[in-house]
Structure 1
Amino acid sequence: MLLEQLRKDVLEANLELVKRGLVLYTFGNASGVDREQGLVVIKPSGVDYDDLRPEHMVVTDLHGKIVEGNLNPSSDLDTHTLLYREFPTIGAVVHTHSEFATSFAQAGLPIPAFGTTHADYFYGPVPVTAPLTDEAIGGRYVHETGLAIVERFRNPEVIDPLAVPACLVNGHAPFVWGRTAHDAAHNAVVLEAVARMAYRTIGLRANADCVSQALLDRHYFRKHGANATYGQK
């Protein structure tokens, strides 16, 4: 069986989404990539999480061609593989329809960086894509979803995908990533938490200020900077 450890890691990431209440029924998916072999491991489409086993994971190449597996891969495969091709520093991708992050996506709004919880994980607001055109929706829809994410990370400003490891797809839901499958699932859980906090912040004060640049820098770089001090050596 190809990529046995990555299959286990991707399965655990998928199950973490269920455990943390980020998916319902067969919603959502997680994948991971082996950069050396150029292969992707992804959840099969429409299979109940209770039934998932490592051998059920589907292995494809970076363009979505199935290399190993008897089940159909996730319907979001083309978005995952495009993100791997365009964001070479990431190692895993997670897609959910978690309630609060999806609410921002459906409203076509980014998630503002209101406080230090957000700043610990996302170096600035979590962006939202432009709406997909009718032509994109009627064409290679899943591929176009990935293109919309990539475009948002390059325009109007360039965003480092590891500094802001998530994007809201306008009218759809979040895609989240990380260096590993565990990291991607972890970031998806945190994204939902900060989206919930942002939603409530806006409800308390619609014109609430975002965190200052100094505080954003202090919290983000203490965890992710070259001289990070958070945690143990």
Structure 2
Amino acid sequence: MLLKELREEVLEANLELVRRGLVLYTFGNASGVDREQGLVVIKPSGVDYDDLKPEHMVVTDLDGKIVEGTLRPSSDLDTHTLLYREFTEIGAVVHTHSEFATSFAQAGLAIPAFGTTHADYFYGPVPVTAALTDEAISGRYVHETGLAIVERFKGEHPLDPLAVPACLVNGHAPFVWGRTAHDAAHNAVVLEAVAKMAYRTLTLQADVLGVSQALLDRHYFRKHGSAATYGQK
């Protein structure tokens, strides 16, 4: 069985989404990439999480061609593989339809950086893509979804995908990533938490200004980068 350890990590990431209440039924998926071999491990499409085992994970190359597996891969495979090709620093991708993050996506709104919880994980607002055109939707829709994310990060106002490890797809839902499958699932859980806080903050005060640059810097860089002070060495 190819990539046994990565299969187990990807399975655990998928199950973490269920444990944390981020997916319903068979919604959502997680994948991981082995950069040395250029292979992706991803959840199979439509299989109940209670039945998933490492051997059920599907292995593809970075273009989505199946290398090993008897089940059909996630229907979001083309988005995952495109993100791996374009964001070469990331090692895993998670997609959910979690309630509050998806609400922002459906409204076509970024999630503002309102406080320090957000700043600990996302160095600025979590962006939202442009709406997909009718042509994109009727064509290679899943591939076009990935292109919309990449354009948001590499377009007119570039973003570092490791500093902001998530994007909301307009009218759809969030895609989240990290260096490992564990990190990607962890970031997805935090994204939903900060989306819920942002929604409630806007409910309390619609014109709230949000976190200052100084506080954003203080909290983000205490957990990230060479000078990070949070946690143990």
Normalising to structure 1: TM-score of the pair?
Answer: 1.00
**2:227 aligned partner:** 227
| Unaligned residue ranges in structure 1 (runs of 5+) | none
Note the aligned Cα RMSD (angstroms). Answer: 0.3
Residue 111 of structure 1: how far off its partner (Å) = 0.0
**1:122 aligned partner:** 122
* Structure 1: distance between partners of 2:105 and 2:61: 29
* Structure 2: distance between partners of 1:41 and 1:156: 32
* Structure 1: distance between partners of 2:25 and 2:182: 21
Aligned 1:13-32 pairs, distance under 5 A: 13-32=13-32
* Structure 2: distance between partners of 1:136 and 1:35: 29
Matched position secondary structure for 1:185: helix
Residue 34 of structure 1: how far off its partner (Å) = 0.1
Residue 154 of structure 1: how far off its partner (Å) = 1.5
Residue 156 of structure 1: how far off its partner (Å) = 2.4
**2:56 aligned partner:** 56
Counterpart residue type for residue 222 of structure 1: R
| Unaligned residue ranges in structure 2 (runs of 5+) | none
Residue 25 of structure 1: how far off its partner (Å) = 0.1
**2:170 aligned partner:** 170
Residue 210 of structure 1: how far off its partner (Å) = 1.3
Residue 155 of structure 1: how far off its partner (Å) = 2.1
Aligned 1:46-85 pairs, distance under 5 A: 46-85=46-85
Residue 96 in 1 paired to residue 96 in 2? Answer: yes
* Structure 2: distance between partners of 1:46 and 1:65: 19
* Structure 2: distance between partners of 1:230 and 1:155: 32
Per-residue CA distance 1:85-127 (angstroms, 9 max, x = gap) = 0000000000000000000000000000000000000000000
Per-residue CA distance 1:23-51 (angstroms, 9 max, x = gap) = 00000000000000000000000000000
Counterpart residue type for residue 48 of structure 1: D
Per-residue CA distance 1:125-158 (angstroms, 9 max, x = gap) = 0000000000000000000000000000012211
* Structure 1: distance between partners of 2:114 and 2:12: 31
**2:215 aligned partner:** 215
* Structure 1: distance between partners of 2:87 and 2:184: 14
Counterpart residue type for residue 93 of structure 1: V
* Structure 2: distance between partners of 1:225 and 1:51: 39
Aligned 1:163-202 pairs, distance under 5 A: 163-202=163-202
* Structure 2: distance between partners of 1:209 and 1:17: 31
* Structure 2: distance between partners of 1:58 and 1:2: 10
Residue 226 of structure 1: how far off its partner (Å) = 1.4
* Structure 1: distance between partners of 2:134 and 2:71: 30
**1:105 aligned partner:** 105
**2:203 aligned partner:** 203
* Structure 1: distance between partners of 2:133 and 2:230: 43
Aligned 1:124-163 pairs, distance under 5 A: 124-163=124-163
* Structure 1: distance between partners of 2:40 and 2:225: 29
- The percentage of counterpart residues that share the same residue type is 87
Per-residue CA distance 1:175-204 (angstroms, 9 max, x = gap) = 000000000000000000000000000000
Q: Structure 1 residue runs of 4+, over 6 Å off?
A: none
* Structure 2: distance between partners of 1:66 and 1:91: 19
Counterpart residue type for residue 216 of structure 1: L
**1:6 aligned partner:** 6
* Structure 2: distance between partners of 1:136 and 1:54: 34
Counterpart residue type for residue 42 of structure 2: I
Counterpart residue type for residue 214 of structure 2: A
